[in-house]
Amino acid sequence: MPPGAAAAVPPMSDDRVRALATEILLRPEYARWRGQSLAWLERLRTWLERFLSWSNNLAVHAPVLYWTLLVLLLGLAVGLLLHVAVSLRAALAQPAAGVSPRADADDPRFLEHAEVLAQKGRFLDAARTVQLAAIDLLIRRRVLTLARADANRVLRRRLGAAALPGSERGELLLLLERLERCWFRDRAEDHELYERWRQLYGRLHALPEGA
């Protein structure tokens, strides 16, 4: 054999490989791990066998008790399924986490735009913009329900039934009527109308939720 060459290892037979694997698995550390991991499974199998044997004997020797237990178990299963269904439905009906119905993220966009219009002397457009901000605020706070296709008469009817203090409700309906008259008939710029809408919006914004 040349110097430095490794000695050839003769191949092991299949029987020798199986014997070696068995010898390794029988070592205490492996045996201890195997016993601990499968002990609970063996106990569960034994319990299930005893329960099934008891159930079979119960069906023969006490059929009334057997069927009573079966009906109770089925009722429990149906109750659990209904509970899961109701819980899922309630969870899906909730707003997304971290989003509040009172979130005022859009308010600055309306009010800043209205202020820009007012600075240009376009008080009618500015008042209209603050009106939209007020309606948007009431919708997001769930005080008012309104669709895009609803007419102004629907808006007035729902505002009249909204959960608002009487003074704010009356001012809202009054300013809404005045703005409609200026918008569709007079087309006259009205700085006072704009300021009153601003003041009303401030009062609506300051109302506690549910007021």
Higher pLDDT, 190 or 209: 190
Residues 129 and 198 both lie in one domain: yes
For residue 10, being part of any structural domain is answered with no
Q: Is the pTM of this model over 0.85?
A: no
Give DSSP secondary structure letters for the chain: --TTPPPPPPPPPHHHHHHHHHHHHTSHHHHHHHHHHHHHHHHHHHHHHHHHHHHHHHHHH-HHHHHHHHHHHHHHHHHHHHHHHHHHHHHHHSPPTT--TT--TTHHHHHHHHHHHHHTT-HHHHHHHHHHHHHHHHHHTTS----TT--HHHHHHHHHHSS--HHHHHHHHHHHHHHHHIIIII----HHHHHHHHHHHHHHHHSPTT-
Task: Kindly report which listed range (30-44, 108-122, 197-211) carries the lowest average pLDDT score.
Answer: 30-44
Residues 75 and 137 both lie in one domain: no
Q: Given a cut of 70, is residue 98 above it in pLDDT?
A: no
Residues 22 and 83 both lie in one domain: no
Residues 82 and 40 both lie in one domain: no
For residue 201, being part of any structural domain is answered with yes
Spell out the residues 6+ positions from residue 190 whose beta carbon is closer than 8 angstroms to its own.
Answer: 123, 124, 127, 182
For residue 151, being part of any structural domain is answered with yes
Q: Which domain holds residue 25?
A: 16-61
Tokens read off for 93: 């009906």
Residues 67 and 125 both lie in one domain: no
In this prediction, residues 75-90 reach a mean pLDDT of 87
Distances (CA, A) of 206 to 102, 134, 138, 202: 11, 12, 12, 6
Tokens read off for 144: 């008012």
Residues 160 and 131 both lie in one domain: yes
Residues 78 and 23 both lie in one domain: no
pLDDT at 32: 58
Residues 182 and 197 both lie in one domain: yes
The single residue listed with the structure tokens 């008012």 is: 144
Q: Which of 72, 94, 116 is the last residue before a domain boundary?
A: 94
Instruction: Count CB neighbours of 136 within 10 A.
Output: 17
Residues 85 and 155 both lie in one domain: no
Count of domains forming the chain: 3
For residue 3, being part of any structural domain is answered with no
Residues 112 and 202 both lie in one domain: yes
Q: Given a cut of 60, is residue 177 above it in pLDDT?
A: yes
For residue 5, being part of any structural domain is answered with no
Q: What are the pLDDT digits (tens) for 135-146?
A: 888 888 888 877
Residues 113 and 189 both lie in one domain: yes
Percent of the chain having pLDDT more than 70?
A: 78
For residue 165, being part of any structural domain is answered with yes
Q: Which of 71, 94, 117 is the last residue before a domain boundary?
A: 94
Residues 69 and 48 both lie in one domain: no
In this prediction, residues 105-118 reach a mean pLDDT of 75
φ, ψ for residue 199 (rounded to 5)?
A: -65, -40
For residue 51, being part of any structural domain is answered with yes
For residue 186, being part of any structural domain is answered with yes
In this prediction, residues 174-189 reach a mean pLDDT of 81
Higher pLDDT, 13 or 196: 196
d(CA 178, CA 175): 5
